[in-house]
Amino acid sequence: MASIKRILALTSKDLKLSLRDKSVIFWAIIFPIILVLLTAFVWVPNPTQITLKAGVYSADTGNFSKIFVSALNSSKLFKVKEFSNFSEMISNLSSGYLDAAFYIPEGFSRNVTMGFPTNLKAYIFYRDPSTASTYRGIVEGFLYRFTREFAIRRAEIAIKYMEIYAENITASSPYGKYFNLSMAKCWILGLANPINTSVEVVKPKNLVSRADVLGFMVISVIGIETLFSGLSVGSTAVVEEKEKGTLHRLLASPITPLELLAGKTLSCLAIITLSAIATVLVGLGVGARMHFNALDPASWLAILHLILAAIFFIGIGLIISIVAKTSRTAGAIIMAIAFPYMFTSGMWWPQPEYLPEPLKSFALVNPATIAVDTARRVLGYGLGIDAILPKTPVVIAAAAIIFTIGVFVYKAVLKKVLEL
């Protein structure tokens, strides 16, 4: 009981010190909030309709070229500017003032009216490979739909004439008894539109909206916080008190080295909890959906996984403390490790989808990534206990092993510091 009181006294003291330290406030509260906001507004923005700035130069004066321009405008895919000079339009396109351009040649309307083949040329601006590909898709998609629509209209006109003359055809023709008007209509429409195609987007059952993606990323941010806070607390567990001059006095009190470490671990978890609350609140504010259910054991297992991830990183931090003689050195080492780790371990982006092959293999066996990934699949995607329970023994074992090694290192470092 006395031991618990001492640990809580240390936790409370460390928490007070942390909350009065601007750098801790930045890394524990501001940094995760920035990550959530960047996620919401930059990396996972609201889906918006793309509108291309399009130029049109028509060498044709007929009605069908006007119909084409009108179709461009009404599609809402293009904001159209008409040019009276072809060279001026191409110049605007190559300077990047236009995203696409359309050239309607002379005789376009006449050929369409006569039912002859005709030409129409489109140009797109190559801003970069990705946008060029998008622009090309939009322009080709529009032209495909426009052409098909045109073909169907032509077919319908042909069918109308066929209906008018059908009676005469059947009466006068020697093969009239074989003629079937309905079949002829279908055949003509089939010529205009040989295959009716459709594309449907299928999303996973539990990943149906941007809100879920944001919820997923909010848990990733909490995972990142376990990485930074855990490494920081572990690597400075001894040197911080040494630099403050308080280490000797603390250990001259009834506090044991393990109680000191327990107090620091608890204060680290408390800071991560505060950070997680701030992160979740901001996440909810920008539209994230969280799948926490107090009656669902999977939700509690997910929280346990995040705690174990923090303990795992505290253990790694304790091991780092062998080489971190000052808190400044510790800070530099943490930055050198944590930032690359954040992006390459799969803790930030989900590993199977985004990481290249060697990193993906590492992420799949990395206990910290497993801990965070399973937690976010439960709390972010709303997956059930089956998605997390099989991984729990691995996460517990890894956290216990690394933390135990860390404790041995901590004791050795402490002994060395006390004897100085």
Partner 1 sequence: MVYGLLKALTFKDVSKSYGDVVALQNVSLEIEESELFALLGPNGAGKTTLLKIAVGLIQPSSGEVRVFGIDTLKEPVRVKSLIGYVPQETIVYDELTGLENLMFYASLYGIPKSVAEERIREYVRLLGLEEHIKRRVSKYSGGLKKRLSIAASLIHDPKLLILDEPTTGLDPSSRRELWKILQELKELGKTIVMATHYTEEAEALADRVAIMNEGRIVAVGTPNELKKRVGELTIIEVEVANPKPELEEVARPYSSGGKVLIKDTALRMYLEDYVTQLPRVIEGLLRAGVKPLTIKVSEPTLEDVFLKLTGRGLM
If one asks whether residue 90 binds partner 1 (CB under 8 A), the answer comes out as no
Q: Using alpha carbons, select from 126, 128, 141 the residue that is nearest to residue 75.
A: 141
| 5 near partner 1 (CB under 8 A) | yes
Note whether 25 binds partner 1 by CB under 8 A: no
Nearer to partner 1, 24 or 217 (CB): 24
Nearer to partner 1, 119 or 253 (CB): 253
Q: Which among 46-54, 182-190, 245-253, 306-314 is the span making contact with partner 1, rule CB under 8 A?
A: 245-253
CB-based contacts of 4, cutoff 8 Å, min separation 6: none
| Least distance (Å) between residue 238 CB and partner 1 | 13
419 makes contact with partner 1 (CB under 8 A): yes
Is residue 6 a contact residue for partner 1 (CB under 8 A)?
A: yes
Q: State the nearest-atom distance from the C-beta of 420 to partner 1, in Å.
A: 10
Q: Between 159 and 262, whose beta carbon lies closer to partner 1?
A: 262
The nearest distance, CB 250 to partner 1, in angstroms, is 7
Binding mask 106-135 for partner 1 (x = CB under 8 A): ------------------------------
The Cα–Cα gap between 118 and 104 comes to 10
Q: How many CB atoms lie within 10 A of CB 4?
A: 10
Q: Which of 247, 396, 235, 400 is nearest to 325 (CA)?
A: 235
Q: How many residues touch partner 1 (CB under 8 A)?
A: 24
- Which of the ranges 14-22, 306-314, 330-338, 392-400 carries the binding residues for partner 1, by CB under 8 A? 14-22
Q: Is 17 in the site for partner 1 (CB under 8 A)?
A: yes
Annotate each residue in 246-275 with x if it binds partner 1 (CB under 8 A) or - if it does not, as one string: x-xxxxxxxx--------------------
- Would you give the DSSP letter of residue 385? G
Helix and strand numbers (H, E) in the chain are 18, 4
Three-state SS for 340-356 is: HHHHHCCCCCCHHHHCC
Encoding tokens for residue 19?
């909350």
Q: For residues 226 and 229, what is the distance between their CA atoms, to the nearest angstrom? A: 5
Q: In whole angstroms, how close is the CB of 25 to partner 1 at the nearest point?
A: 12
22 sits near partner 1 (criterion: CB under 8 A): no
Decide: 148 and 194 in contact? Cβ < 8 Å: no
Min dist. Cβ of residue 358 to partner 1 (A)? 44
Nearer to partner 1, 271 or 363 (CB): 271
Least Å distance between CB 308 and partner 1?
29
Backbone angles phi, psi at 40, to 5 degrees: -70, -40
Of 82, 60, 59, residue with least CA distance to 70 = 82
Nearer CB in complex with partner 1: 19/359? 19
Q: Answer for the pair 125, 99: CB distance below 8 angstroms, yes or no.
A: yes
User: Is residue 328 close enough to count as binding partner 1 by CB under 8 A?
Assistant: no
Whose tokens are 């993906």? That residue is: 360
- 346 and 359 in contact (C-beta within 8 Å)? yes
> Hey, is 245 helix, strand or coil?
coil
| Binding residues vs partner 1 (CB under 8 A) | 2, 5-6, 9-10, 12-13, 16-17, 20-21, 244-246, 248-255, 418-419
